Structure 1
Amino acid sequence: MAAENRVEAVERALAVLDCFDGEKQALTLAELAERTGFYKSTILRLIGSLERFGYVGRRASDGRYTLGPAVWRLGSAYRRRFALAGAIRPELATLRDHTGETASFYVRDGDKRVCLYRENSLRAARHHLSEGEVLPLSGGASAWVILAWTGGDDERSTRVREAGAAISVGERDPDVAAVAVPVLDREGGFLGALSVSGLASRFGPELREAAAEALRESAARLRGVVV
């Protein structure tokens, strides 16, 4: 990107927001400084503007900083822009009930993936993840599907495209196995990855294959719904 199309102050403010990665609900000024590498005085100036527009708040109890309501508003707007939303949720519930495992829909966000929609398994022992969770693209069935359908030209991406699905066992979490397929629009454009994941100890090869077939059926029903 050309330098004239970038605003350093905006990028620094966004770097502050990126510190809130979901691992901790609130951060101290020192923690923000450590994560960004910025001087505390710089962070305070940036936070002043972020607070003004509702992107960051400060807890009165301990002075720690948290994300503000404006972030939720933008996140909600982003999720609403998917016309698929109304169709995906019933499919996720169907997949969960059919397989007994957790069903999810992921989209790509730069070099990461975001769990946009999810229906967690109703079993007490399950693979649980919250909507909005950000995960790397370095492992997991949904990551391989996303990479394969967004420009991946390596051998694994080729195999995933040929198979029309990806399977992972213990890649991101040693106790979790997952199956994922692409969700395409009516013109073949990639929308996201539809996934079923569960404890590897019970989500064995036969069940994964059955889940893959159920996922393909769901993806076929979703195809044609335009974003």
Structure 2
Amino acid sequence: MKNESTVKSIERALMILDCFTKQRPSLSLVEISKLIDMYPSTASRIISTLESMGYLKRNEKSLEYSLGYKLANLGSICLSGEDLRTIARPFLINLRNRYNESVGLYVVNKNQRVCIDCVPSTQPLHRVIDIGTRMSMTRGASGKLLLAYMPDSIIQTFLLEDPSLSLKQLEEIRQLGYSVSINEQEQNLTSIAAPIFNAEHEVISALFISGPSFRLSIEKIEEIAMKMKETAREISIMLGY
């Protein structure tokens, strides 16, 4: 019975969310109750839960409800994966063609970073990163860059897990707007990463370039880092930033 009751509550919550449309962006409790044929007292309890979790928000003056930030965030996550790859692909190819090093994208997934796209270098010796490859958040340019833009509470958790990483390092990454790792993830490997933002000004991906350290001098790293920042910003703008 408990499982049936839980399923019914979820069903009712989804029915309430379905009441909102472009034509009906805001609704009162009475209007919601009528639309889904639900007792106002029942609807009120469910609406209160949805509001407390960010799925609905209430206008204190009109006392009407509208969809909350949490749904906007979920929608952004749903759309950003494929949109990001589609939009970023030409930029990845251009960067690869310009520097002939492997270029790609990492996103955060389950406390790790996962590669969602990569355009490999055409040189005989190059970095190979398969799509779906998972790596640490505390090592490498992309991992540290993604971590640098996370909430402080999450950052503190990772700092406890890896004492080699410091808050100062992450602050420097945010100030510079890019991250560099040399012989860190692997020996004789250099990587540079820059942040890609979504419409909510949240970092959703790390644009990276990676190759053998002997081909990436300090002078070249500085040049590439500026180009990476510029390219990441162009991608961000196309995503609504």
TM-score (norm 1): 0.62
Return the alpha-carbon distance in structure 2 between the equivalents of residues 179 and 126 of structure 1. Answer: 15
Residue of structure 2 equivalent to 1:119: 119
Equivalent residue letter for 1:183: I
Q: How do 1:60-209 residues align onto structure 2 when only pairs under 5 Å count?
A: 81-151=81-151, 152=155, 154-209=167-222
Return the alpha-carbon distance in structure 1 between the equivalents of residues 116 and 209 of structure 2. Answer: 14
Shift of residue 82, structure 1, vs aligned partner: 2.9
Q: Which runs of 5+ in 2 are unaligned?
A: 1-77, 157-166
Q: Deviations over 1:29-76 (max 9, x none)?
A: xxxxxxxxxxxxxxxxxxxxxxxxxxxxxxxxxxxxxxxxxxxxxxxx
Deviates more, 1:178-187 or 1:114-123: 178-187
Equivalent residue letter for 1:217: E
From 203, 208, 225, the counterpart of 1:212: 225
Deviates more, 1:175-184 or 1:201-210: 201-210
Aligned Cα RMSD in Å?
Answer: 1.9
Equivalent residue pairs, number: 150
Shift of residue 79, structure 1, vs aligned partner: 9.2
Structure 1 residues 99 and 93: CA distance shift in structure 2, 3 A: same
CA contact (8 A) 2:85 2:116 kept: no
Structure 1 residues 156 and 126: CA distance shift in structure 2, 3 A: same
Q: Which has the larger radius of gyration?
A: 2
Return the alpha-carbon distance in structure 1 between the equivalents of residues 217 and 191 of structure 2. Answer: 10
Give secondary structure in 2 for the equivalent of 1:82: helix
Shift of residue 138, structure 1, vs aligned partner: 2.5
Shift of residue 107, structure 1, vs aligned partner: 0.3
Q: Which runs of 5+ in 1 are unaligned?
A: 1-77
Return the alpha-carbon distance in structure 1 between the equivalents of residues 101 and 171 of structure 2. Answer: 27
Return the alpha-carbon distance in structure 1 between the equivalents of residues 240 and 118 of structure 2. Answer: 20
Shift of residue 81, structure 1, vs aligned partner: 4.0
Give secondary structure in 2 for the equivalent of 1:139: coil
TM-score (norm 2): 0.59
Equivalent residue letter for 1:144: K
Give secondary structure in 1 for the equivalent of 2:139: coil
More helix per residue: 2
Q: State the 4+ residue runs in structure 1 displaced beyond 6 angstroms.
A: none
Equivalent residue letter for 2:140: G
CA contact (8 A) 1:168 1:179 kept: yes
